[in-house]
Structure 1
Amino acid sequence: MARHTRRFSPFNAISLALGLAFLYLPIVILMVYSFNASRLVTVWGGWSLRWYAEFFHDRAMLDAAWMSLRVAVASATAATVLGTLAAIALSRGESFRGRTLFSGMLYAPLVMPEVITGLSLLLLFVATAAERGFWTVTIAHTTLTMCFVAVVVQSRLRGIDRSLEEAAMDLGCAPAHAFVAVTLPLILPAVIAGWLLAFTLSLDDLVIASFTTGPGSATLPIRIYSEVRLGVKPEINAICTLVVAAVAVVIVAASLASKLSSREGESAAPL
């Protein structure tokens, strides 16, 4: 049989270059202008770290960044625990009653518009007379990100040979002990990847946080949005560059953890 080799034609190269430029050129321009010495955003005045220094002396921005970081860590941790438990329930309880309803409710935030999710959570907090602030934003972000963790962990659980856990129980381990000793180490890379994904989604969220936050508890995206409505300042470019760098680090870490999870899944798969 003749072997057909795939050729990377000039058309493919141009299409790839235009696609990457459309996606990343605005971000690159923003990052370059974050080092602009001029006060005018569109006028280049030389290289400077002036606006990074301005950010680290802006108390309101620092408070918003600290708020976003605390919410992201808390919601990602809660979402990881709940999403992992939900993934285990869906993977190990194939025939329990209400599985379809539970699965639909769990994965609803994946397809539901964030405006609807944010508005429904706002109505819930108003109905329960909950004071909007750190905890309401954390609960909202946990609701949003839990389904993403469940997807990652459930896909990892499907690649694990259940006979390993059954063998541990045959040797005298209790089900909980067998899970901690055998299954949890195998799915740990997926759990870490889910946490990193949840952290990133929480850190970048604007819509749901704007519905569930209260006075004095604005997150960094909300603060940036309020500043941009009055005009783009060079300090905003510096802040966005720092956020892009932080998110890029988290995404790379999540990607590495996911690759490690897939490799361990291949090694644990039955021959």
Structure 2
Amino acid sequence: MSWIRRNVIVLVGTLALAYMLLPNVVVLVFSFNDPKGRYNYEWNTFSTDAWQNPCGVADMCDAVSLSLWIAVVSTIGATLLGTFAAFALARYRFAAKGAANGLIFLPMAMPEVVMAASLGTLFLNMRIEFGVTTILIAHIMFCLSFVVVAVKARVMSMDPRLEEAARDLYAGPLQTFLRVTLPLAAPGIAAGAMLSFAISLDDFIITQFNSGPSTVTFPMFVWGAAQRGIPVQVNVIGSAMFFIAVALVLGAQLLGGRRKART
């Protein structure tokens, strides 16, 4: 009992992590399944056919490519706009600053369907044709708040004396920003960008309300396939995305550890 009391935090954290990762394990296991019928819900026999041919389902890889492209472009747009907004909110005083802060948090607090329906109505009233462009605008609008929150928190924790020291050493405004401010804010910007990419990649509600009839992203493909039986290749794509995300996180941790060891 004494050992449990000493390690209760580790045990609870391990159980919570196992609970969060359990769906990923189920998806990975069933990616090696060869189901009897259309539905991949019960284990039948072990098979690697889906891994050998992940694009064997018509239009699925096209949907994955479109989702990745939209996620990359919307991440770039949201990160740029969100970084500028975060610096403005953290460093400057202007009229209606409090209202701007409230509006930034609003998309995060309101239900996703509200923003999706509002943007869809706006595009209809402006007679904008639904398609990839409307999805990009909607995704950037939704991801912007998350980037602002991440970058603003980092900017507010930065020591302004470092920038003052750079200016005292005759560094110009641009040089100070590139050599001091931007590297210090980089972790917050990277966190906001990764969060924006993940949100955009798996978004369904906003995409569904603002997509055209011929625009199908991967989440929309999965939703449509669920009505007639989700193919095993969907589990393969999901498992591959999970492994890529884990590899990126581990790589970032290793780089961070090496930098700390050098300093």
- Band of TM-score, shorter chain: 0.7 to 0.9
Instruction: Kindly provide the amino acid, as one letter, of the partner of residue 50 in structure 1.
Output: D
Query: What residue number does 2:213 align with?
Result: 215
Percent identical: 35
Query: What residue number does 1:75 align with?
Result: 74
Contact 2:55 2:233 in 1 (8 A): no
Deviations 1:163-195 (A, max 9, x none): 222343455544344323320121112212211
Contact 1:133 1:212 in 2 (8 A): yes
Query: What residue number does 1:51 align with?
Result: 50
CA distance in 2, matches of 1:133, 1:159: 40
Which segment drifts farther, 241-250 or 108-117? 241-250
The answer for unaligned runs of 5 or more in structure 2 is none
CA distance in 2, matches of 1:43, 1:192: 40
Query: What residue number does 1:178 align with?
Result: 176
CA distance in 2, matches of 1:139, 1:81: 14
Instruction: Kindly provide the amino acid, as one letter, of the partner of residue 92 in structure 1.
Output: R
Contact 2:56 2:233 in 1 (8 A): no
1:24 aligns with 2:21: yes
Query: What residue number does 1:34 align with?
Result: 31
Query: What residue number does 2:129 align with?
Result: 131
Contact 1:71 1:138 in 2 (8 A): yes
Alignment of 1:1-271 (within 5 A): 6-8=5-7, 13=11, 19-20=16-17, 22-40=19-37, 41-93=40-92, 95-249=93-247
Deviations 1:4-51 (A, max 9, x none): x95235x994x6676555433333122101111334424434332212
Contact 1:37 1:45 in 2 (8 A): yes
CA distance in 1, matches of 2:106, 2:220: 25
Deviations 1:110-131 (A, max 9, x none): 1111000101110111111111
CA distance in 1, matches of 2:194, 2:177: 23
Residue 201 of structure 1, CA deviation:
0.9
Which segment drifts farther, 247-256 or 191-200? 247-256
The answer for unaligned runs of 5 or more in structure 1 is none
CA distance in 2, matches of 1:114, 1:37: 36
Instruction: Kindly provide the amino acid, as one letter, of the partner of residue 99 in structure 1.
Output: K
Root mean square deviation of aligned Cα: 2.8
Query: Normalized against structure 2, the TM-score is what?
Result: 0.84
Contact 1:87 1:151 in 2 (8 A): yes
Q: Which secondary structure does the structure 1 equivalent of 2:6 belong to? A: coil
Deviations 1:217-239 (A, max 9, x none): 21100111110122233233223
Q: Which secondary structure does the structure 1 equivalent of 2:59 belong to? A: helix
Q: Which secondary structure does the structure 2 equivalent of 1:218 belong to? A: coil
CA distance in 2, matches of 1:226, 1:124: 26
Contact 1:149 1:194 in 2 (8 A): yes
Query: Normalized against structure 1, the TM-score is what?
Result: 0.82
Contact 2:154 2:187 in 1 (8 A): no
Contact 1:197 1:251 in 2 (8 A): no
